[in-house]
A and B are shown apart, each in its own frame.
Chain A
Amino acid sequence: AQSVTQLGSHVSVSEGALVLLRCNYSSSVPPYLFWYVQYPNQGLQLLLKYTTGATLVKGINGFEAEFKKSETSFHLTKPSAHMSDAAEYFCAVRLGGGGADGLTFGKGTHLIIQP
């Protein structure tokens, strides 16, 4: 079975500062890893994903994440925060390869941007 831990239910940064949202996972097989963003009263939007290959993954809106197998981590970063980045962020894991698609999500991190 797989699991996801997101450190920090709330993260507050100043506009223009670095954003770092932490995600650690556990998986018995090589995982597929995802970051999703959720704005109030909306569904989930995929920011980026890691499946195979390059461990540094770039996504939409200037976000990127690095898969570190030795640390079982997939932290999300953005060099300069914008007010529009304020939202809920979810890290998720799925077993690689075939089978059901069910994603296992973390509890989420609420990102607050201070002006």
Chain B
Amino acid sequence: ETGVTQSPTHLIKTRGQQVTLRCSSQSGHNTVSWYQQALGQGPQFIFQYYREEENGRGNFPPRFSGLQFPNYSSELNVNALELDDSALYLCASSDGTVLREQYFGPGTRLTVT
């Protein structure tokens, strides 16, 4: 069974640029959630995709957007990067059942300069 994988591991971007982060969900999982973890903080929920549609969103602006593909992998896109977007971005997948448990990937460390 393959776990949740994320790419790239690290990324450095300049303010105002756009970035795309990728996540492959665990085998058999149809739901993907994205979280932002700033340094020294707990993760914050960005949004969730279930069967290719967004079905939940946290308190993040529209410049944070996503996609989920038919194989349930997912992308997180961030436009017009700001310095405060520097964080660890975590992807988590689950199987969509009532007692669903989220399995986290190792994260992508984004630095905005």
Contacts and interface: CB of A to CB of B under 8 A. Distances in A.
Given A45-B104, A51-B99, A100-B48, A105 B31 contact: no
Interface of A: 4, 32, 36, 42-46, 49, 51, 90, 92, 97-108
Contacts of B104: 36, 43-45
Nearest to A32: B99
A97 B4 CA distance: 24
Given A42-B107, A101-B94, 12 more contacts: A43-B90, A51-B99, A92-B42, A98-B98, A100-B33, A101-B33, A101-B56, A102-B45, A103-B45, A103-B102, A104-B45, A108-B42
Contacts of B98: 97-98
A101 B100 contact: yes
Given A51-B99, A98-B98, A101-B33, A107 B42 contact: yes
A107 B39 CA distance: 10
B113 interface: no
User: For the complex, would chain A's binding face be called helix, strand, loop or mixed by DSSP majority?
Assistant: loop
Given A49-B101, A100-B56, A101-B100, A108 B106 contact: no
B58 interface: yes
A4 B99 CA distance: 20
Contact of A44 (B31, B41, B43, B58): B43
A101 B48 contact: yes
Interface of B: 4, 31, 33, 35, 40-45, 47-48, 55-58, 90, 92, 94, 98-107
Interface centre among A43, A49, A105, A106 (most CB of B within 10 A): A43
A43 B56 contact: no
Contacts of B48: 100-102
A46 B43 contact: no
Nearest to A105: B42
A44 to B, nearest CB: 4
Contacts of B57: 100
A43 B94 CA distance: 15
A108 B44 CA distance: 12
21 contacts: A4-B42, A42-B106, A42-B107, A43-B4, A43-B107, A44-B104, A46-B101, A46-B102, A46-B103, A49-B101, A90-B43, A100-B33, A100-B48, A100-B55, A101-B100, A101-B102, A102-B47, A102-B56, A103-B35, A103-B43, A103-B102
